[in-house]
Amino acid sequence: MSNVNSAISTFLAERISAGDFPSAVYLVAQKGEPVFSDALGNAVVQPQLIPASAATIYDLASLTKPLITGLLSSQLIEKGELALNRSVSHYLQEFEGGNLKAITIRQLLTHSSGLPAWCPLYALAEGDPDRTLKIIANTELEYEPGTRVVYSDLGFITLGLLLERLTGKQISQLAQSEIFQPLQLKRTFFNPEQAMQTGIAACELGNAYERETCRAANSGEYASWREELIWGQVHDGNAFFLGGAAGHAGLFGDAPDTLTIGNQFLAARSKLLKPETCELFRMNMTEGLNEARSVGWQLAATKDSTAGPSLPTDSFGHTGFTGTTCWIDPQNERVFILLTNRTHAHSLPFTNINSVRRQFHTLAVESLAAL
């Protein structure tokens, strides 16, 4: 049975008062079960005031990468249908040319492929999502594959398209049949129905952040920016362009469902993966490079990671641009979830909440030790 933790709740309430984010929902679990949880602040500030609750659904943003794409990839690796050391071009003929031919599945999953971090596919594809893979395949690599870690949306968009090509199903359908249905998740999905909007935390007013990013990158003109409040549809522009579901973003869910998926990465808890497959998540596959990375996750061994100093080095985690976080400590079978909507009712620049994430983990570990 979970209960409110006064140290964590007081700290997050202070950060809400300081204007870091309008709402926060946290859940700390041990051995598969929630121990501490609370919901603070307002999930929606404009156009109306809606308080956050334990059931508030958040745009999980890049948590999509490990929770969906990483998990689906691991299931296929386990079945022998996808091989970590096989070249991406074995599955996608678009990658057969030039430097791309050398990129492996492992390098996509560990952000060491050489692909750039981001580009506005919606602007470059001239309104045609089917051109996405060709655009990525024609992108110049920024470094030799396997020599650095550069966090890349393009790498995980590619993985999502590869999974679709391999299975003949859209990634939203795959997630439904391989993750949501087996786990009986009721509040996790891509493209939430309009009727659910008031139960979802609101995001940014318009696409101001991406518009600024495009302007800074000289990415050309784009006419279809969203001007309205982004509330109940995916915040990320490329995921929105790709129909709301992609390998890098688009997942919506509440904290309890996020915990259920998080538990699938723990050997003793997983219903979807064998224990030996779960070892892939705590294994450093980028030894000697600038970040410690495993299949879909960053490891706490990474210098200045959002894990903070209190989690063991083989803990693995991920953040989402909207203000979400999930870290997993396999040694102690703990899952730490913090969901905020820092992009809502906040002018640019958005607050960097990495120090909040680290302190959240520190307070949670101290509180668990005191039980």
Closest CA to 328 of 313, 315, 318: 315
Q: What span, in angstroms and rounded, lies between the C-alpha atoms of 357 and 273?
A: 28
pLDDT in tens, 19-50: 999 999 999 999 999 999 999 999 999 999 99
CA 241 from chain center: how many Å?
Answer: 18
Q: What is the pLDDT of residue 219?
A: 65
- CB atoms under 10 Å from CB of 282, counted, come to 24
Closest CA to 302 of 280, 324, 317: 317
Whole-model pTM above 0.95? Answer: yes
Q: What is the pLDDT of residue 1?
A: 58
pLDDT in tens, 74-110: 999 999 999 999 999 999 999 998 789 999 999 999 9
Structure tokens at 28: 């700390």
Q: What is the pLDDT of residue 98?
A: 79
Q: What residues of the chain score a pLDDT lower than 50?
A: none
